Amino acid sequence: DAKTTQPPSMDCAEGRAANLPCNHSTISGNEYVYWYRQIHSQGPQYIIHGLKNNETNEMASLIITEDRKSSTLILPHATLRDTAVYYCIVRYTGTASKLTFGTGTRLQVTL
Amino acid sequence: GAVVSQHPSWVICKSGTSVKIECRSLDFQATTMFWYRQFPKQSLMLMATSNEGSKATYEQGVEKDKFLINHASLTLSTLTVTSAHPEDSSFYICSAPAGLAAYNEQFFGPGTRLTVL
């Protein structure tokens, strides 16, 4: 699976959009970009995934660049409950479904 | 979404004892489950892949005789930490992919915090 690079930490004011970047310059054509988050002392929670088109769901939006070498997770209106570690993961769509977690970005949402 | 549970949520044991952690998929069947370990302020590290009806696949550096995995049914996988020592104290998390699609999402359990005295 391709490696990803994320900033170790970010701050965001409550109510503002949180934009979390991820670099995956070695991604291959059939690898998807997944985003998970982990709130302290809980299991990770799936947020969103995509291949090459931008995606949006009730939690977030995922913007993938045209060359697919980077992506941005957008939380449109961050709340205190969005404070968590966010993981960007790239993986093949094989049946193994193995997820390899990097160090992630610790997002702190403040008042 | 699909729900994965773990039991117990936390456990404290004496050094040298064995501890069993259960991972259940509550509303779906999982032929494959994954076990992760997470030390404080670190990321999740995949330990092994649990396969229903066959042997588990362990990641490099994980002792299979110490971390026994049994996937006895399509909804239950267990991880037994044998002869636990303080260095085994960690947060253990399981996950399972839901659905048959190759790009299906994984659902994680709430985790089990193990403390070995």
Task: Give pLDDT tens digits for A4-40.
Answer: 999 999 999 999 999 999 999 999 888 899 999 999 9
Q: Which two tokens stand for residue B66?
A: 């110490």
Buried b (16+ CB within 10 A) or exposed e, A78-109: beeebbbbbbbbbbbeeeebbbbbbebbbbeb
Predicted local distance difference test score (pLDDT) of residue B102: 47
Amino acid in position A90: V
Cα of first residue to Cα of last residue in chain B, in angstroms, is: 37
Q: Work out the pLDDT band at B72, boundaries 50, 70, 90.
A: confident
Cβ of A97 and B104 within 8 Å?
yes
Residue to substitute from A4, A46, A103, interface B, most B β-carbons within 10 A: A46
C-alpha A53/C-alpha B49 separation (Å) is 31
Predicted local distance difference test score (pLDDT) of residue B48: 96
Predicted local distance difference test score (pLDDT) of residue B2: 81
CB hemisphere CA count around B117 (13 angstroms): 4
List chain A residues with CB under 8 Å of B97: 97
DSSP secondary structure code for residue B15 in this structure: T
Q: What is the mean pLDDT of residues A76-98?
A: 86
Secondary structure E strands in B52-89 = 57-58, 67-73, 76-81
Q: What is the mean pLDDT of residues B91-100?
A: 87
- In chain A, the residue whose alpha carbon lies closest to the alpha carbon of B39 is A41
- Chain B contacts to A (CB-CB under 8 A): 1, 4, 6, 32, 34, 36, 43-46, 49, 91, 93, 95, 97, 102-111, 113
Q: What is the mean pLDDT of residues A79-85?
A: 97
Q: Are A47 and A36 a contacting pair, CB within 8 Å?
A: yes
Predicted local distance difference test score (pLDDT) of residue B100: 59
Cβ of A98 and B34 within 8 Å?
yes
Residues 6+ apart with CB under 8 A from B68: B79, B80, B82
Amino acid in position B77: S
Predicted local distance difference test score (pLDDT) of residue B71: 93
Cβ of B45 and A87 within 8 Å?
no
Q: Looking at the predicted structure, is the pLDDT value of residue B65 above 50?
A: yes
DSSP secondary structure code for residue B84 in this structure: -
**Closest-CA residue to A62 (of A37, A92, A97):** A37
Q: What angle do CA B31, B37, B39 make, to 5 degrees?
A: 165
Q: Any idea of the CA torsion for B21, B16, B51, B92, to the nearest 10 degrees?
A: 50
Residues 6+ apart with CB under 8 A from A39: A45, A81, A83, A84
pLDDT one-digit tens code per residue, B5-49: 999 999 999 999 999 999 999 988 888 999 999 999 999 999 999
List chain A residues with CB under 8 Å of B30: none
Predicted local distance difference test score (pLDDT) of residue A30: 84
List chain B residues with CB under 8 Å of A46: 1, 105-107
